[in-house]
């Protein structure tokens, strides 16, 4: 396994629409393993393939608490089929937007369809942090970031800050 570099704001690749995974081969499985290693090292609870520059509908997650056994999940071509009516407020961070957090209200439960590493299709009802994380990661697959929940003015301020930071780092 290998740790991969994570793309950060304002990298335009993060805005790309990810395409479905057509075939689960060794390359896809290795990418999923590398993404898990990258996510654990960050550390984070979720990572989408586009965040390491691969525009495919592939997500890894692990929302286990620190004192629990790891629960790595690989979701291939995940699709939300239903959203719960209740909402949940959570302060979200994003590995592509370092040192930025935003409280976001999203549906508290989701029904999800996805393909696992063996190619088998599953349906899953998720609640709590898992429901939040799944929605966050599927947003990535559609080129959407948590700053899109801000007003355009506030969003521009965050983007400007990261552009400035990127310029400083490249000096």
104 binds Zn ion (CB under 5 A): no
Q: How far is CA 36 from the centre of its chain?
A: 12
92 belongs to the catalytic site = no
Among 9, 28, 94, 126, interactor with Zn ion by CB under 5 A: 94
Q: How many CB atoms lie within 10 A of CB 158?
A: 18
> By CB under 5 A, is residue 9 in contact with Zn ion?
no
Closer Cβ to Zn ion, 31 or 104, answer by number: 104
Which residue has the closest beta carbon to Zn ion? Answer: 94
Region of 119 on the Ramachandran plot (φ > 0 left; ψ -120 to 50 alpha; else beta): left
Q: Residue 40: which of 90, 11, 2 has the closest Cα?
A: 2
Interface with Zn ion (CB under 5 A), residue total 1
Which one, 24 or 38, has the nearer CB to Zn ion?
A: 38
Q: Dihedral of the CA atoms 95, 101, 106, 109 (nearest 10)? A: 60
Catalytic entry in 120, 123, 137, 169: 137
Comparing CB distances to Zn ion, the nearer of 61 and 94 is 94
Q: Which residues bind Zn ion (CB under 5 A)?
A: 94
Task: Report the catalytic residues.
Answer: 137
């Amino acid at each position: 396994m290998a740790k991969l570099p994570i793309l950060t704001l304002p990298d335009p690749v993060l805005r790309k629409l990810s395409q479905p995974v057509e075939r689960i081969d060794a390359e896809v499985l290795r990418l999923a393993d590398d993404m898990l290693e990258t996510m654990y090292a960050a550390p984070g609870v979720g990572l989408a393939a586009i965040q390491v520059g691969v525009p495919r509908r592939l997500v890894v997650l692990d929302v286990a608490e620190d004192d629990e056994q790891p629960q790595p999940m690989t979701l291939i071509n995940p699709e939300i089929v239903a959203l719960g009516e209740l909402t949940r407020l959570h302060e979200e961070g994003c590995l592509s937007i370092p040192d930025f957090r935003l409280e976001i209200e999203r549906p508290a439960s989701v029904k999800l369809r996805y393909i696992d590493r063996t190619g088998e299709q599953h349906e899953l009802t998720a609640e709590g942090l898992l429901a939040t994380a799944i929605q966050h990661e599927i947003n990535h697959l559609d080129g959407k970031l948590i700053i899109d929940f801000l007003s355009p003015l506030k969003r521009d301020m965050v983007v400007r800050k990261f552009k400035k930071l990127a310029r400083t780092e490249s000096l």
